[in-house]
Amino acid sequence: MKKLETRKYFEKLHDLFFKKFVKDDRGRENTFKRENLINILSPGRVNIIGEHTDYNLGFSIPIAVNKYIVLTGKANDSDIVEVYSEYFDSFYRFPLSDITFDKNVKWVNYLKGVIREYIQGGFKISGFSMVIGGNLPMGTGMSSSAALEVGVAKFLEELFNLNINREEIIKYCNSAENNFVGVSCGFLDQFTVVYGEEGNAIFLNFKDLSYKYIPFDLKDNIILIIDSKEERNLSSTGYNKRRDECREAVKIISSIAKNKNIYSLSDIDLDLLCRLKERLSDKLFKRARHVITENRRVLLSKGYLIKGNIEKLGLILLESHNSLKYDYEVSTEKLDFLVDEIAKIKGVYGARLMGAGFGGSVISIVKKDKIDSIVDIIGSNFFKKFAVTPNFIECLPSNGTKRVKY
């Protein structure tokens, strides 16, 4: 995945915008000026550690990364939203008076959901034209959906001069994904895309959304994402079922322990869980054990990051993967193969499945000077096993969603 040359890419999108929305409309052409376009750069996110802890009110350590969804556009003096996606070579048009879920064009629902949230929130929105592109891959566990949602939110804020703070943006975008798209996600993705900071990771407490920046000095290393090309769609996988299982475990444990202060799995310690093991189904016990031990791994990782101990952080990644594989059961044969194979290579500091699981990608931390050999070895072995060549994505911590002017 090549580095995004931001200025050149926006120039490309401006040309695309002109071609799609201006060229055949003389009235628009007379008023078209590139400097009037609103340009938004919205990063993907990588979760270093802390998977499935967000909706369980625990901890995680994510970063925004230097792979982006890019948006450009302007108001069109109508009640119509018209958008072209470079990703899908797809054009879509709808009136603001009729924002309905489209089961056939899934990508547009993220945009629709955010617009609907803003309108329901009392913000005045009118029609606009937009082009969407970028180099952030979709369906890999790097939160392209959150990048798009927050990118659209920032675009609306800038285009219509809305008075809205970052916390509200996160809540509106999260609500759009939960209530319009139909994925019951926590706040991790949207929060990271909004609050990301170059050179830093974020230690995030989901109980109150408090956070702290942690210096993330990779030194001679880099984050390497390996996309298995195993497609996933969280709205149709076991993701929502895992949330239901966690809620059920909390309800049972709270009742047995007669503790009204237990609201989430993050309110339960491992000793209590083990004492109640015989009172829970094996499945619910394992789900709870993953969340509780994953929170512990996040706290250990925080300390390792502060000390700059990448080696021990890598071991934590491997522990996390095993927990996601055996206790939370969200891994796949392809993801397990990638983790097992890359962990054998010298110059690799651990790896694990990234994101919700059920397909997608693996995150690893590797030596920069070993990238070429890692790509060759893993690419060859994976192809021999599955007849598919994975994608390799190098990334570093980035700033959150922002407007850029060109």
Query: What does pLDDT average to over the chain?
Result: 93
Catalytic entry in 15, 77, 102, 189:
189
- Residue 137, pLDDT score: 87
Residue 235 clears pLDDT 60, i.e. is over it: no
6-216+398-404: CATH number: 3.30.230.10
pLDDT digits (tens, 9 = 90+) for 345-358: 999 999 999 988 89
Q: Are strands 128-134 and 80-85 parallel, antiparallel or unpaired?
A: parallel
Is residue 349 within 8 A of residue 313, CB to CB? The reply is yes
Q: What is the 3-state secondary structure (H, E, C) of 102-156?
A: CCCCCCHHHHHHHHHHHHHCCCCCCCEEEEEEECCCCCCCCCHHHHHHHHHHHHH
Q: Is the dihedral of CA 376, 381, 383, 389 positive or negative?
A: negative
- Residue 118, pLDDT score: 97
Amino acid type, 233: N
Q: What is the 3-state secondary structure (H, E, C) of 310-333?
A: HHHHHHHHHHHHHHHHHCCCCCCH
pLDDT digits (tens, 9 = 90+) for 98-125: 999 999 999 999 999 999 999 999 999 9
- Residue 131, pLDDT score: 97
Q: Which of 350, 372, 369, 365 minimizes the C-alpha distance to 397?
A: 365
pLDDT digits (tens, 9 = 90+) for 187-219: 899 999 999 999 999 999 999 989 999 999 898
Cα 168 versus chain centre, distance = 18
pLDDT-derived band at 1, boundaries 50, 70, 90:
very low
Q: Based on the residue annotation, tell me whether 189 is a catalytic residue of this protein.
A: yes
Give the C-alpha distances (Å, rounded to integers) separating 389 from 118, 139, 374, 376.
Answer: 41, 16, 13, 10
Question: Which distant-in-sequence residues (6+ apart) come within 8 Å of 66 by Cβ?
Answer: 3, 4, 43, 395, 396, 397, 398
pLDDT digits (tens, 9 = 90+) for 318-371: 999 999 999 999 999 999 999 999 999 999 999 999 988 898 899 999 999 999
Percentage of the chain modeled with pLDDT above 90: 84
pLDDT digits (tens, 9 = 90+) for 238-271: 888 999 999 999 999 999 998 989 999 999 999 9
> Whole-model pTM?
0.90
